[in-house]
Structure 1
Amino acid sequence: LSSIIESQFVEVITAPAIAESALEAAAAKPNVRVLSTGYWGDRSAAWDLKKVNGGLLIQDRDDHVLLPKDVSVVSNRAPTEQEMGDLLFAWRVAKFVKSNAIVYASHQRTIGVGAGQMSRVNSARIAAIKAEHAGLDVAGAVMASDAFFPFRDGIDNAAERGIRAVIQPGGSIRDEDVIAAANEAGMAMVFTGVRHFRH
């Protein structure tokens, strides 16, 4: 954490606990706020409630923790160990991004995020634009999608940008086309079997 504080622009850090070295690094920068939340216990509520016009949306709480053993490799190429770590990291980030969510990540850090678009491919384009504006290269990165790809265009777009691996729930009637697009590009693709889909 201290290396991130020293090398990047940071305004707020929130974590269950903060190491002394991270506090020292934060104190050396102006206007950095550090919040230690403590460790949260288990949430007792099994439901996520959203108020909507004229009613209430009741849905399962999105609290599933995905492990490498939980994913299914559906492409010809399996992800490398580094790619798998980055895929799981990007998947965790995607949980907190408004649907349609696309997250690009590399070496356990977020490279670009596309959110809240009507189409998944537009979210992918926005994630690439955000990365470019930050001076970050998405080539060689991985991509997480909070829900399945309904068409292969999102994978084709990612391949053009050099994305090497994709994590997504799967479950589209066009999964075969989407997997074929990944195979044509030499990408690794894994299915989670669960989605985030945050509204």
Structure 2
Amino acid sequence: MKLWKRKLYRVVMGGLVPAVYLITKDPLIPALISSFFLFWLLLMEFERYLHPNFWAWLLKHSPGIFKTKPGVLTGDTNFMIASFISVLYFPFPVAVSNLLFLTFGDAVSAIIGSKYGKMHIFPGKTVEGLLSGILLNSMIGLLLSFHFAVSFEILFTGILIGCILEVLPLKLDDNLTVGIVPGIVMTVLFHNINSFAS
């Protein structure tokens, strides 16, 4: 499966939770959706652990679909963990913004970086991909700042932190770090600024 198809799948599946949350403004249904997918993804992880030879065969014959070797959680599982945590623990505007940034920023940076990237920062990470992710998420953040009671400065801080974490060669999966750390920072800023204003 080509990169753009993988990312299209991620946008459709990853955008489901924040879209439902944005419509309902209630964490219950998004939490149920993310927990449902997380349950099945964890079952898949368990299956991968029990039958590593089968998954090694899939890795060999299904390039681009399964990228992670047995014993390490897939990006989809880490993504859904981040979605579940975001819905449960982050304020509504932060959770929605954080998940939209994670979904769309990752997709556009990967596609632009792989197709047009010339200036490499780290292996698989380019300046062009980084800047395209920041630009798209900034546009999304600007629109959200008009819709939510949260400033663009807070959202942009989360965007920058997420993009930096994505390009750094960390051992942790970036779906997890980018999906959680920016949300924590934006939540702290959101609560502190609201407390100061009141």
Which structure has the higher relative contact order (CA within 8 Å, separation 6+)?
A: 2
Q: Is TM (by shorter chain) over 0.5?
A: no
TM-score by length of 2: 0.29
